[in-house]
A and B are shown apart, each in its own frame.
Chain A
Amino acid sequence: MHDLQLLKDALIAGDWKTAAAATQAAIAGGVAPLAIVTGHLMPAMDEVGRLFECEEYFVPEMLLSARAMKASMEILRPLLASTGAKPAGRVVIGTVKGDLHDIGKNLVAAMLEGGGFEVIDLGADVAPELFVETVAARQAELVALSALLTVTMGWMRTTIDALTAAGLRHKVKIMVGGAPITQQYADAIGADGYTDNASSAVALARKLVAA
């Protein structure tokens, strides 16, 4: 037993140095990279999500955990690739046009990255055409749209419509989030999923990619 509990604890505590060291130690001890991801990283991520949802964790704790997750994934990714294991999925993420807010979007991107996704971050104030181009060029499986303002959330629908018009809608799953967004709104604009926080976005992304 290569102190994998230590890894999980370090991820939950947001201690990236210990997380990286424990990941190295596990690999050196012969634990399969994929087993580290499914057996330790993912459960740790789920625990962080639970702590956030029951409001024991706030944004800083979640950021630190995401950073620790990323440190561990950076060590594991090349090994996973060499064994033919694929990333959890390829996500194109961005804040929709007219909206410069990116704290929520960055949190979701960090958590998705920590969760093993390949994340293509288009930034904030992203035009529908750029989402369309990127999805086509990079063959993404998932699009994550963010909006903080009630006045910009309409661009989510416009972006989804643009993906449909480009013939790409059936190739991607679309998830939406942001302060003014609700499940009802997500349904109304034809999104595939919605969550109200960054940690549960990872579980949603996994579910959408698997569907």
Chain B
Amino acid sequence: MSSLSQWLAGGLLIADGAWGTELQARGLEPGAPPDTWNLTYPDRVAEVARAYVDAGSQVVLTNTFRANAIAMKGDLEAINRAGVEISRRAAAARALVFASIGPTGKLLMAGEIAPEQARAAFDAQARQLADAGADALLAETMSDIEEARLAVAAAKDTGLPVVVSFAFDSGKQKDRTMMGATPEAVAAAMVAAGADAIGANCGAGVEFAAAICRRLRAACGLPIWIKPNAGLPSLEGTSVKYHTTAAFFASHFAALRDAGASFIGACCGSTPDFIRALVKARCGSN
């Protein structure tokens, strides 16, 4: 039995909520990559991780989304290591640590970077996260199947379980990635790439997540990872507002579970309250 299926033996797991917007609430300055805070303000990053574990997250991510050599500069090895260590301390024995790997931010098909460059960047980050002691690796917010293939291959080389998650935020039904990929195309390609679980994160909001979850589930036999955002933000004056409330978000818990989700969490704009509401919804629905 793989570690992933052992972890899921007791039923679905509640993941965490947003990091970027939580760090911004703690003073992350405009434009600075949140990942550097692993070195400069580790206590504030730890606060976010702890808040999610305290709220009931059984899986917490790491503040390492951008820490690949194409997306940002800096001492990436130290940032990735600190990211895992911070989440690990917060999780202790209470939660698993899935280390976050985001996209490069460049388009392969436009020739902005070569596939070898992307692969090398993912290889380095995956190795750093694995060496630091992550339980699993999560390639998330992907939109390009080709790029995700490279991330999954790099992550698999570490020997850890690999989850790969796409942002479905385009198309009339909000069921396509920015690159036009459907849940079916994503599932087929990621099964072939050897992912241990596949999923959808960020996207266009929780209202669209159950339909995507169901289609991913129908298209493959892998566990499904679902982490929708708190809707799309709007600007009120100079402050950014997300309109989805924790209660509204959690009201979709049963629909997501019935659609076959194995991991349920929340993305951009969510808070530990969202996770508390999900935990409550799970207790209420048993």
Contacts and interface: CB of A to CB of B under 8 A. Distances in A.
Interface of A: 55, 57-61, 63, 97-103, 106, 110, 125, 149-155, 180, 182, 184-185
B235 A154 contact: no
A110 B110 CA distance: 10
A61 B179 CA distance: 9
A109 to B, nearest CB: 10
A51 to B, nearest CB: 11
Contacts of A102: 105-106, 112
B235 A150 contact: yes
A193 B54 CA distance: 46
9 contacts: A58-B176, A61-B180, A63-B110, A100-B33, A100-B72, A102-B106, A154-B30, A154-B238, A180-B240
A55 B105 contact: no
Contacts of A152: 30-31
Main secondary structure of the interface of A (DSSP, over half): loop
Contacts of B31: 97-99, 125, 149, 151-152, 155
Nearest to B239: A150
A60 B30 contact: no
Contact of B170 (A58, A149, A150, A151): A58
A58 B179 contact: yes
Interface string B101-138: 00001110110100000000000000000000000000
> For chain B, which range describes its interface: under 10, 10 to 19, 20 to 34, or 35 or more residues?
20 to 34
Contacts of B180: 57-61
A103 B107 contact: yes
A9 B33 CA distance: 43
Interface string B182-195: 00000000000000
A115 B65 CA distance: 36
A103 B179 CA distance: 12
6 closest A-B pairs by beta carbon, nearest first, are: A98-B31, A58-B180, A151-B30, A150-B240, A152-B31, A55-B171
A112 B240 CA distance: 30
Interface string B168-207: 0011100010111000000000000000000000000000
A106 B107 contact: yes
Contacts of A106: 107, 110, 112
Contact of A101 (B28, B105, B109, B171): B105
Contacts of A185: 235
Interface string B53-86: 0000000000000000001100000000000000
